[in-house]
Amino acid sequence: MEIFDRFYCDGRWVPATGRDRLAAFNPCTELQSAEVAVCTAADVNEAVAAAWRAFDGWSVVPVAERRALLGRVRDGIAQQAEGFADDLVKDIGAPLWVSRQMQVPMPLRNLELMIDAIGSMTFETRVAHSLVVREPVGVVAAITPWNFPLHQVVAKVGAALAAGCTVVLKPSELAPRAARRFAAIVDEAGLPPGVFNLVWGDGPGTGATLAAHPDVDMVSFTGSVGAGRAVAHAAAGSVKKIALELGGKSATVLLDDARFPDAVQTVLRQCFTNSGQICAAQTRLLVPHARLPEVETLCNQYAADWTVGDPSDPETRLGPLANQRQFDAVQRHIATGFAQGARLVAGGAGRPDGCTQGYFVRPTVFSGITPEMALAREEIFGPVLAVMSYADEEEAVAFANGTPYGLSGGVWSADPQRALAIARRMRTGQVVVNGAPQNLAAPFGGYRQSGIGRENGRYGVEEFFEFKAIQGGCTHD
């Protein structure tokens, strides 16, 4: 069992002062695999003070120098890609293919885009007789989740550092290994002491203390809607800037001229990858009434391809859920689906055949879903797809927009203009047309209860700036 009893502060690893510890478990064996310290308020104060002291110096480091230092971080991540993949097997049960195709390549690409972005940004602009200056917001608290432990750290920490902010990171206590490896890479890259700091702990304790800290200028959080509300409430006392990336219940609309086999196969991948533990997962599939039997047959056929097993086996497509709490939540959602009259197409309750331990679930598809059902409205965060049928395009759009969320969505059609017309009507932060790949240079974030702000590339870096208008800073020619 690994012990995480030191936090990173002011350029060195120091012992946490509190006695409380949190347990992290291997999702395949259900055995405790790590013990994580709970940093006290004094520890948080020390980390924030280090970031505050470092801010003035870091904020004026020339862009070229910041880019070079972040380039070293990027190189360190690339050199330890397999180490991160091993961390993610232990922490969240991510299959090797997920780590090698998503969990590690995505943050690498994102960091490259951030480095490029600050190299081309304009930091001072003349507006009539005013000088408009883009300045880093200050000390940033980054609170990250367990489902993408490296990607979310880089999305926040990399962007904040690129902008010239200093950072205190509070990663998920359920997935500590990737965060510790990242901190070690930052240390080796040679950033000045205090520019990056890491504290351990839970959300209601350490996270809330960090979010409420008067010397923290901004909080960037990813997690559930409920936890996001708590973070916003904690931050409101000092009226600090917040960025929230929260949940989703994303819908893909299959129009009647779509290539249904391709679409269903892709939607299942968008729903099941990372065991469905993706905030932007496409978890609702909307199909024309007349084509529902065909889609159900395709879902049953393709769901069988999602073999469940040991995430360290390269042949495994679906690993376990990350923790007991998530396993129990997904089982409750499946039970609710049955209770509310949903029709099972594939999968179902309990562990897959042959799995006697671990947080493994069956890749599941329900059909006959109506808008008032929980499966149509609530985020499950597991490999469970809800198939709904619609009468016409108006009803399809109404169903797609009929939840409190708005993080992602999809449209399939043989006519790109027809698909684009539907995409424009969807109240969501991104729409995937005909299974197009993710573009990390484009902004990522949500409408409504899916959050506030945007991440990735240039858009992510821009979240960490303030604008200052210096009247009289420029004179007319």
59 in Cβ contact with 136 (< 8 Å): yes
Average pLDDT of adjacent 10-residue blocks, the chain of 477 residues: 95 95 95 96 97 98 96 97 95 94 96 96 93 97 97 97 98 96 97 98 94 97 94 93 96 97 97 96 97 97 94 92 96 97 96 92 97 96 97 97 96 96 97 95 96 95 96 70
pLDDT of residue 476: 54
Identify the CATH assignment for 2-246+450-470 out of 3.40.190.80, 3.10.180.10, 3.40.605.10, 2.60.40.10.
3.40.605.10
Where are the domains positioned within the chain? Answer: 2-246+450-470, 250-440
pLDDT of residue 125: 93
250-440, CATH topology level: Aldehyde Dehydrogenase; Chain A, domain 2 (3.40.309)
pLDDT of residue 355: 87
pLDDT of residue 50: 98
β-sheet with 21-25: strand ranges across? 2-4, 32-37, 21-25
The two domains 2-246+450-470 and 250-440 share their CATH topology (first three levels equal):
no
pLDDT of residue 242: 96
pLDDT of residue 354: 85
Question: Which residues are known catalytic residues?
Answer: 245, 279
Q: Which residues pair with 125 in a beta bridge?
A: 132
CA-based nearest residue to 472, from 224, 165, 129:
129
Rounded Cα distance, 291 and 62, in Å: 59
pLDDT of residue 474: 72
Rounded Cα distance, 158 and 201, in Å: 21
CA-based nearest residue to 255, from 421, 88, 121:
421
**What are the φ and ψ backbone dihedral angles of 228, each rounded to 5 degrees?**
-65, -40
Rounded Cα distance, 386 and 344, in Å: 10
130 in Cβ contact with 469 (< 8 Å): yes
